[in-house]
Amino acid sequence: MPTFLATALSLYALANLYVFIRGWTVLPRKFPVRLLYVLFGLLLMSGYVLARAGRQFIPAPVISGLSWIGSWWVGVVLYLLLFTLLADAIRLLNRLLHFLPPGTKEIRLRQRRMAAAGIAAATLALLAYGGYNASVPRVVTVPLRIAKPCGDVKKLTFAFVSDLHLGRMVGKDFLRAVIGRISALRPDLVILGGDILDVEIGEEDERALVEVLSRLKPPLGLYAILGNHEYICGAEHSASLLEKAGATLLRDSVARPVPELYLAGRDDYSRHWKLSERKPLSEILSGRDERCPLIVLDHQPAKAVVAEARRAEADLMICGHTHAGQLFPWNWAIRIFYDKIYGLFQEGKTAVFVSSGVGTWGPPARVGNRPEVVLFQITFTK
């Protein structure tokens, strides 16, 4: 974890530095303009870090403002970087091929300023779309057939939602909208797939979480697993909130919503941060009746995790965590860590579904994917 964090911060710093330097080259030479650029740039670049590091001595309203600025800036700097790299690539290519008309130094400066303004406008427009897109989750229906009997149950519907990230950037109003959407589906049971809470959640949002989740009264129960963000903000505290809301928390344990159905929930892979490895799936499932359907819940779709479910011949495995990349082109980059980032896959006898999640981390925006509530419609056959 420390290595990953150091790498991420280094890349973020380099991206900011590149964008800052390229912006500096098109500024007027007037001292007040450049001073304001430096001060404003430092605020934008360090907002999120200051919000995390200074919460013990900076007033809460200031922390909220810094979090908002810093979170949005993560998205802004991503697209400023991509558009700037594209513009610089065109400039370098022009030096070789000379496809742009020549001009004086003043004309070239004016052109660079126009390009910078266009880059800024395109970035803001893209993130405005992304903000709207993130605010309107869709319902995705996944019909599946499991070739095993489940007692008298022939069909089962259940709602799955993950990666809400309730906290400073995703508030209680969005939580109410999502839970209302789930209630309208009238599922037999509901599953929360981890990262329901974000790194920091205030007391007001905690109360809202318990109050709103308590409204869910599916006939076969409400179940939950933990994600990596529950571990970041305190696994035991997160667990207690979910249990107060009426959820049955599965931490390397098995539930039986109906006698003939096994629902195995894994503790998140982040548990090893606390120097405590989670149980093997084979141990969790010890003594199960293999003639009965088995559904495995695991927040992160790591290759080893999927392979373990496949060896257990689970009928269905459900994950979240990836956000389907959330901001294009991260959907390409995260394939370094996860080969399955979104959708339904078949691994031997095991169907694996990875959800894009319903909320956001960092900037409350999605580009290139949609937030979702997943409705599984399972048919059991002999």
Given 133, 151, 182, the domain boundary residue is 133
pLDDT tens readout for residues 272-323: 666 677 889 999 999 898 999 999 999 999 999 999 999 999 999 999 999 9
Summarised one tens digit per residue, pLDDT across range 312-366 is 999 999 999 999 999 999 988 888 889 899 999 999 999 999 999 999 998 999 9
Residues 6+ away with beta carbon under 8 Å from 171:
205
Cβ–Cβ < 8 Å for 327, 290: no
pTM score, whole prediction: 0.91
Residue ending a domain, choose from 133, 161, 178: 133
User: Could you tell me what percent of the chain has a pLDDT over 70?
Assistant: 97
DSSP string, 325-361: GSBTTHHHHGGGT-S--SEEEEETTEEEEE---SS-S
Q: Mind listing the pLDDT tens digit for each residue in 31-54?
A: 888 899 999 888 888 887 777 776
CATH number reported for the structural domain that contains residue 236 in this entry: 3.60.21.10
- 198 and 161 co-located in one domain: yes
pLDDT (tens digit, 9 = 90+) per residue, 207-239? 999 999 999 999 999 999 999 988 887 888 899
Q: What is the pLDDT of residues 116-148, one digit of tens each?
A: 999 999 999 999 999 999 999 999 999 999 999
CA distances (Å), 265 to each of 109, 125, 146, 192, 228, in order? 59, 41, 19, 10, 14
Q: Range of 313's domain?
A: 139-380
**Are 240 and 176 contained in the same domain?**
yes
Whether 156 has a pLDDT exceeding 90, the answer reads yes
pLDDT digits (tens, 9 = 90+) for 191-204: 999 999 987 777 88
Question: Per residue, what are the HEC states of 92-136?
Answer: HHHHHHCCCCCCCHHHHHHHHHHHHHHHHHHHHHHHHHHHHHHCC
Do 116 and 210 lie in a common domain?
Answer: no
Whether 1 shows a pLDDT value over 60: the answer reads no
Provide the domain count of the chain. 2
Structure tokens at 339: 């080969």
Amino acid at position 147, single letter: A
Same structural domain, 106 and 186: no
Same domain, 298 and 197: yes
Summary mean pLDDT of the chain: 90
- In a 3-state reduction of DSSP, which class is residue 161? strand
pLDDT digits 0-9 by tens, 78-93: 999 999 999 999 989 9
Pairing of strands 262-265, 253-255: antiparallel
Confidence of residue 158 (pLDDT cuts 50, 70, 90): very high
Q: Do both 122 and 213 map to the same domain?
A: no
